[in-house]
Amino acid sequence: MSGEPLLSAEDVRASRGGKLIVRGVSLEASGGEILGILGPSGAGKSTFFRTLTGETPLDSGRVRYGTQDVTAWPLWRRARGGLGYVPQTPSVLWDLSVADNLRVFAHVAEREGKPGAEPADDLATRLDLTSRLDVRAGELSGGERRRLELARALTLRPRILICDEPFAGVDPKNAEQLGDLLRAEAERGVAVLLADHHVAEALRVCTRALLLLDGEVAVDADPDAFREHPLVLGRYLGSWTRSLPPPPRA
Ligand SMILES: Nc1ncnc2c1ncn2[C@@H]1O[C@H](COP(=O)(O)OP(=O)(O)OP(=O)(O)O)[C@@H](O)[C@H]1O
Ligand SMILES: [Mg+2]
């Protein structure tokens, strides 16, 4: 799917602790695309994502959802405007059940007169959490918690989905299922951004891969070209991928 981008970042710069971390990043993501934002720890991936979600203010630049300039919008308003977000750090409500975690966004949206959220049971089925609905979120395994966080991000049927290390702590088979789910979302017309150090899975599902180095986009390529790129090998992947067969592509 192509067309007008659902998400645009235009020369985004952002500082943290007095240091410039995101140093002029521009990109566009259309429905159907999965952009892998990959790079070494500290490159600024999460900080860049937080400029897209409204958590970190920009020094300069613009963020647009469709044609709407959302640069000054806080996170909650962006969520109403079509953003789903899985942050890198845990974000479940620990003392609530899985079911209540899945209902909470829908409940708030309904109170604001916006019905149409995906029902908790449907989300649980899609994320293989049906048998865990009555469990307190604080009692989930790390991988189950990540599935819950992704399910929750899908509650309001987002058009833009930003996932910061969704495979972290998830076993390989479940990571593959989550990857398939991201693909299914993209096929429904969602624009997906994904950062993760599970590079094999990230490159299997993404349609384009960007290497972020020191807060700048250093490589922007299709996944096969990305994994062979000298800068990617030299600064991020190292030599281990050379011994692997090409990743399976659906
Ligand atoms: N609130 C903050 N105050 C000061 N420095 C910060 C803050 N947030 C991030 N940084 C710094 O910004 C840099 C980029 O951090 P960021 O979390 O964006 O990296 P990352 O690419 O997501 O890394 P990882 O792969 O480990 O998640 C790091 O040097 C980090 O210490
Ligand atoms: Mg990060």
Burial class for 97, CB neighbours closer than 10 Å (0-12, 13-18, 19+): middle
Q: In total, how many domains does the chain have?
A: 1
In a domain, 40, yes or no: yes
Secondary structure (3-state) at 148: helix
The pairing of beta strand 34-38 with beta strand 208-213: parallel
Q: Is the CB of 229 under 6 A from ligand 1?
A: no
Q: What is the CATH number of the domain that holds 199?
A: 3.40.50.300
* Residue numbers in the chain where pLDDT is lower than 70: 1-2, 240-250
What's the pLDDT at 246? 60
Q: Nearest ligand to the C-alpha of residue 42?
A: 1
Distance CA 34, CA 161 (A): 9
Burial class for 118, CB neighbours closer than 10 Å (0-12, 13-18, 19+): middle
Q: Is the CB of 21 under 6 A from ligand 1?
A: yes
Q: Please give the model's pTM, rounded to 2 decimal places.
A: 0.93
What's the pLDDT at 161? 98
What is the residue range of 32's domain? 7-93+158-243
State the closest ligand 1 atom to the C-alpha of 17, by its place in the atom list counted from 1. 4
Q: State the distance from the centre of ligand 2 to the C-alpha of 80, rounded, in angstroms.
A: 24
Q: State the distance from the centre of ligand 1 to the C-alpha of 55, rounded, in angstroms.
A: 13
DSSP for 172-239?
HHHHHHHHHHHHHHHHTT-EEEEE-S-HHHHHHH-SEEEEEETTEEEEEE-HHHHHH-HHHIIIIITT
pLDDT tens digits for range 108-167: 877 877 778 898 999 999 999 999 999 999 999 988 999 999 999 999 999 999 999 999
What's the pLDDT at 112? 78
In a domain, 198, yes or no: yes
